[in-house]
Structure 1
Amino acid sequence: MLVDPELVAEITVDTAQERGSWRHPVRFARLRLDVAVTDVPPFGAGAEPASG
């Protein structure tokens, strides 16, 4: 691991993509001081995205 996570942040994203890139920017929503870093699965692990 390149960095040791210390904080959990909530972000908002739009699922729209165009040619493999996000159509809209990822936005910082808030820090989640009520969630421990160990409660969050590593990026790419965890629940599967919903199909639709």
Structure 2
Amino acid sequence: MLVEPEPVAEIMVDTALERGAWRYPVRFARLRLDVAAADVPPFGAGAQPVGG
């Protein structure tokens, strides 16, 4: 059985990497009750490189 995602969370991250790992931890900001899981693109989809 597949898991169906339902709640959408907003998180805060820093783009700094150190030896291939995030330098600072990911922090939970809030639940987004106004956004459906189907409206959120898959992780990495549509990401734009910085400064490229």
Please classify the TM superposition score into its range, dividing by the shorter chain length: 0.7 to 0.9
Tell me the TM-score normalized by structure 1: 0.83
CA shift for structure 1 position 4: 1.2
Which ranges of 4 or more aligned residues in structure 1 deviate by more than 6 Å?
A: none
Unaligned runs of 5+ in 1: none
% of aligned pairs identical?
75
1:30 aligned residue? 30
Q: In angstroms, what is the RMSD of aligned CA positions?
A: 1.7
| CA-to-aligned-CA distance 1:28-51 (integer Å, 9 cap, x gap) | 000000001110012232x12232
For residues 5-34 of structure 1, the C-alpha deviation after alignment (integer angstroms, 9 at most, x for no partner) is: 011000000000001000000000000000
Q: Which sections of structure 2, spanning at least 5 residues, go unmatched?
A: none
